[in-house]
Amino acid sequence: MTTGACPVAVVVNDDLSQLLLMSKLLEKEELRVRPCRSAEEALTLMAEQGPPDVIVTDLYMPGIDGWRFCRLLRSPEYPAFNRIPILVVSWTFSGADAEQITANLGANAFLAAPYEPSELRASVRALLEGRRPRLSMRVLIVEDSPMQSTILSRAFAAHGYTVMAASTGEEGRSLFRDHSPQMAILDYHLPDVTSDQLLSEFKQAAVRTVAIMITANPSPDLALRFMRIGADGHVRKPFDPEYLIDLCEKVWRERSLLAVEDLLEERTRQLRERERQYAQLCENANDVIYTHDLSGRLTSLNRAAERIIGYTRSEAMTMPIAHIIAPEYLGLHHEMMEQNVRGETSGEAYELEVVTRAGGRVSLEVSSGPIYRDGEVVGVQGIARDVSERKRLEAQLSHAQKMEAIGTLAGGVAHDFNNLLTPILGYTSLLKLRGRPGGDVYQIAQVIEGAGERCAQLANRLLGFARGGKHLDVPVDTHNAVREVVELLSRTIDKRITITQRLLAEESVVLGDPNQIQQVLLNLAVNARDAMPDGGNLHFESAVAVLDEDYCRTHQGATPGRYIMLSVTDTGVGIPREIQQRVFEPFFTTKESGKGSGMGLAMVYGIVKNHDGTIRIYSEEGIGTSFKVYWPLATGVSPAPFPIEKAQPIPGRGRILLVDDEELVRATSAELLRQMGYDVVTVSDGQEAVEYYRRCGDRIDLVIIDLVMPRLGGGDCFRALKALNPSIRAVLSTGYGLNEVAQQLLDEGMAGFLQKPYQISELSEVIAQALQHRK
């Protein structure tokens, strides 16, 4: 052994990568490491250079394996190595059996892999410091001759054994039971029990104990008798104690080797079973599992690959993997392959597309790494998951979120716009009431009113796109809506376009805004017309559709239920696939400048979503386009008539509390109400309204409440007023549409809904209806 400052460690492992790893770890402990690829190489090296300070060896190696290597190091053949501490490291074997057998063959410590680097360094350091000596073997000597017992005890102790001596069978039983010796030396003649009985008891209690019978009886029959009752050998007196010790160790080593063989056989069986299970697991996996060599040629594929890429295994394994990679991803593929060939792996997945046998494309999420053999990279292995569906759903979700965000913005713009239009149209109504029909003031007011109404229509189109932009929620017969649109189109559309309809749905009534539903059909029809400049066919169709969970899982925004499907189909130029996902975006248009605002389909999308529906587009260039709109069916209701023309303002009497944070809206609306005959009290927010009503509520006949206000919003204001007077009559006024919040307040008891901007006729009608049922 060395006496210098740096101890020497011999490391034995047939796996080059593991050998290099352990060597580097131990070199950091300031050890001089002598790496060896086999036990034979290690024995030769130590014979030439002398014993090291510690030996670290693998168990499962070709040629002389780790167990036989340990036995040789503790055998008389290599006496110089008998006391060198040995650490066994194994990736294949673990557990108490492997550790015990290894110790029995002479190792001092056992470390199951995988392990932390600190564990390896600590184990070696402990051996070098003598803190983990070789396991001491225990031997029980049952001999009634004091002299013979003393001689044997001293001999075994000299070889490092822990010795227990007994002069009677009963004493031997007690020591055996308390200490479980690995070896038992039994005299044939004992004063209290027969050795046959004692041997039988020992073997039943511990079958692995090495039992040697000693006797002065020269009878040859005894040897056979001893073997029958379980003895592992016998020695006739007188004998050399060294011979007995050598016999015991020989039997113990053979027994340990048999245990090793049993363990190896069991582990081999387990490895084969595990290999079969892994092969089956790979074959049954839904992901592609593959390997390829350094040239990029596929060397193995599982069954999933055939399903995903369309090639059979035999076909795929005749081509380089780059053959199926989409051209724009070849650079990424080569970069990752070079990284793996260098033995590097980031552990992060990357995405690429492959071209299937049919010419289609599949998006794959790939994780790959190097394949090692004898420490050298010989190929690449990887798992590829088909993420095409996930990417499609992610795109749908992203699109839906973008539309939702734009819708929220559009709703806010429309709300502010409607608040500004309310005083414009309100004062216009007052001018007309105070002017002379046909007079200059009246005609000017009429022009302003027309412009204001067109602005209001634009704001309502924005609300139609905004989430929650319905104005009404009444039963609508969609078949009637289609017929009215067809009738309108038949008078105005290019005569080269043939219009047909096939309305087969058994149910056709939905809950919604009839004007908006008709607007959807008109917008889709106008887009179809523009797609057929040279004429073609425009077809309307209906059918009842049931959207199930499977459909909704793969179509973002759809919910399960019964729908009426209305389709608008043309035979026009079609829409390129790359822009189909953008057609519903506000201000997106492919038309020439001045021929389209890009708001038509955005409004269609918003209206359909506001009616809890869904819309799908199917288009092929040169063939045509079909928009399919799914409206939730309503049952047990009758359709309402379409809105009729505006009525004259209805005069009234009573006191109205007007709550609005916009000063112009308050002033205009108050003047309109007074013009109709009402007394008006105005406040600027919900908190002020509650305080006033608490003082003077008994003199208030109706409250008009704006929805969005500082301090206390319209909803909370109404609830606070209702707590003061459960029978209160209140009307909700908002620049937003009839959204979920507004509908909730109507369900809670609000008596009416006013959509800003409103004129005097609309205002008077809503107030008259609200006051009609007051208590």
Which carries the bigger pLDDT value, residue 589 or residue 209?
209
Selection from 263-267, 297-301, 657-661 with the highest mean pLDDT: 657-661
% of the chain beyond a pLDDT of 70: 88
pLDDT at position 278 is 84
Which carries the bigger pLDDT value, residue 97 or residue 508?
508
* Nearest-angstrom CA–CA distance, 95 and 98: 6
**What backbone phi and psi angles, to 5 degrees, belong to 173?**
-55, -45
pLDDT at position 740 is 78
Give the lowest-confidence range in 95-109, 186-200, 547-561. Answer: 95-109
pLDDT higher than 50, residue 649: yes
Query: How many separate helices (H) and strands (E) can be counted in the chain?
Result: 25, 27
Domain limits, CATH 3.40.50.2300, in the chain:
8-128, 138-251, 655-772
As assigned by CATH, the class of the 391-465 domain is mainly alpha
pLDDT at position 723 is 94
- The pLDDT confidence band at residue 732, using thresholds 50, 70 and 90, is very high
**What backbone phi and psi angles, to 5 degrees, belong to 646?**
-65, 140
pLDDT higher than 90, residue 164: yes
pLDDT at position 392 is 78
Q: Which residues are 297's β-sheet partners?
A: 320
Distances (CA, A) of 438 to 432, 433, 593, 649: 10, 12, 39, 19
pLDDT at position 591 is 57
pLDDT at position 456 is 74
- The pLDDT confidence band at residue 644, using thresholds 50, 70 and 90, is very low
In the CATH scheme, what is the code of domain 655-772?
3.40.50.2300
Nearest Cα to Cα of residue 386 among 306, 316, 288, 320: 288
pLDDT in tens, 81-132: 988 999 988 876 666 566 666 666 678 888 888 888 888 998 899 888 876 5
- The pLDDT confidence band at residue 594, using thresholds 50, 70 and 90, is very low
pLDDT at position 394 is 74
Q: Which residues are 373's β-sheet partners?
A: 376
For residue 254 the two structure tokens come to 């053979």
The sign of the CA dihedral 337, 342, 343, 345 is negative
pLDDT at position 132 is 57
- The pLDDT confidence band at residue 775, using thresholds 50, 70 and 90, is very low
Say if residues 541 and 612 touch (Cβ distance below 8 Å): no
Give the lowest-confidence range in 41-50, 221-230, 698-707. Answer: 221-230
Give the lowest-confidence range in 335-339, 487-491, 546-550. Answer: 487-491
In the CATH scheme, what is the code of domain 8-128?
3.40.50.2300
Domain limits, CATH 1.10.287, in the chain:
391-465
> DSSP letters of 295-313?
TSBEEEE-HHHHHHH---H
The kind and range of the H/E element at 140 are: strand 138-142
* Nearest-angstrom CA–CA distance, 165 and 180: 13
pLDDT at position 406 is 63
Q: What rounded mean pLDDT belongs to the chain? A: 84
- The pLDDT confidence band at residue 135, using thresholds 50, 70 and 90, is low
pLDDT at position 552 is 84
As assigned by CATH, the class of the 285-386 domain is alpha beta
pLDDT at position 532 is 92
- The pLDDT confidence band at residue 77, using thresholds 50, 70 and 90, is confident
Average pLDDT for 66-71: 83
pLDDT higher than 80, residue 600: no
pLDDT higher than 80, residue 438: no
Which carries the bigger pLDDT value, residue 368 or residue 405?
368
- The pLDDT confidence band at residue 596, using thresholds 50, 70 and 90, is very low
Average pLDDT for 17-36: 90
pLDDT in tens, 380-428: 999 999 988 888 777 767 666 666 666 666 666 777 777 777 778 777 8
Average pLDDT for 230-252: 87
In the CATH scheme, what is the code of domain 474-632?
3.30.565.10
For residue 483 the two structure tokens come to 């017929």
pLDDT higher than 70, residue 353: yes
For residue 692 the two structure tokens come to 């006033």
> DSSP letters of 601-661?
HHHHHHHHHHTT-EEEEEEETTTEEEEEEEEEB--S--PPPPP-PPPPPPP--SEEEEE-S
Which carries the bigger pLDDT value, residue 395 or residue 209?
209
Domain limits, CATH 3.30.450.20, in the chain:
285-386
pLDDT higher than 50, residue 50: yes
Contacts from 585-590 at CB under 8 Å and sequence distance 24+? 585/402, 585/403, 585/406, 586/406, 586/410, 586/465
Average pLDDT for 128-139: 72
pLDDT higher than 80, residue 342: yes
Nearest Cα to Cα of residue 518 among 545, 493, 543, 487: 487
Residue 377, Cβ neighbours under 10 Å: how many? 16
pLDDT in tens, 267-280: 778 778 888 888 88
Answering whether pTM is above 0.85, one says no
Q: Find tokens 């996930």 and name the residue.
A: 390
pLDDT in tens, 144-161: 999 999 999 999 888 778
Which CATH architecture is the domain 138-251 placed in?
Answer: 3-Layer(aba) Sandwich (3.40)
Say if residues 54 and 85 touch (Cβ distance below 8 Å): yes
Residue type, 406: I
**Residue 733: CA count within 13 A, CB half-sphere:** 29
Say if residues 39 and 63 touch (Cβ distance below 8 Å): yes
pLDDT at position 593 is 45
